[in-house]
Amino acid sequence: MNLLRLSPLASRLTTVMRHLKAHRKLGRTTEHRISLLRNLATSLINAEKEHIVTTVPKAKELRPFVEKAITLARKAQHLTGDDANVREVHLRRQAARFFHAGNSTFKTEQSRFRGKKGEAKDPIVRTAGVAAVQRLFGELGARYKDRDGGYTRIIKLGRRVGDNAEMAVIELVDNAREIAAKG
């Protein structure tokens, strides 16, 4: 969208170019926007049906965000050599930046000293961000090992009833439903 501005020297309108304006702000502060994208990415990776419904601008911002994380998982599939494990840990830590960590109390929660003596301990549940990184490197990295980008698809749905926002589905390509339909 070009912005129009009245030139001070002339009485005509000129266009202002969008240099260095690569991303949408989505009406949020930087911290809120990054948190929103992390939550959407976590939801997409952890979704059983491998798709989520959101607005079109959010889906368009989420696509490169998620694809960068999937590319890191894909790179981990091609590692060879003596330092492959070290490099995979590095790639996992880089990919963890795309999701909320939320594991600051995990060590104390898994301690054998938690709870009352003699009572059964509740199973420890990892956070959604950690589960997303595990699924990313376990399942999705292997699935997209031979694909050079284009891991997601955006399908427009129409407008939402309440506020008339344009809705879309963002999904991972080559999912189980798609493979079953191909036969």
Residue 10 has pLDDT above 70, yes or no: no
pTM for the structure as a whole: 0.78
Task: Please tell me the total count of domains within the chain.
Answer: 1
Report the pLDDT value the prediction gives residue 169, as an integer from 0 to 100.
96
Q: Is residue 100 part of a domain?
A: yes
Q: Alpha carbon of 20 to those of 7, 30, 38, 136, 137: distances in Å? A: 22, 16, 23, 31, 33
CATH of residue 74 = 3.90.1030.10
Residue with tokens 């030139």: 7
Kindly indicate the confidence band of residue 106, based on its pLDDT and cuts at 50, 70 and 90: low
Report the pLDDT value the prediction gives residue 145, as an integer from 0 to 100.
92
| Domain region containing 115 | 26-182
Report the pLDDT value the prediction gives residue 129, as an integer from 0 to 100.
83
User: What is the average per-residue pLDDT within 139-160?
Assistant: 93
CA dihedral 166, 71, 175, 85 (to 10 degrees): -140
Report the pLDDT value the prediction gives residue 32, as an integer from 0 to 100.
92
Token pair recorded at residue 125: 């549940």
Token pair recorded at residue 171: 């999904």
Q: Is residue 5 part of a domain?
A: no
Q: Is residue 15 part of a domain?
A: no
Report the pLDDT value the prediction gives residue 42, as an integer from 0 to 100.
93
Separation of alpha carbons 68 and 150, rounded Å: 10
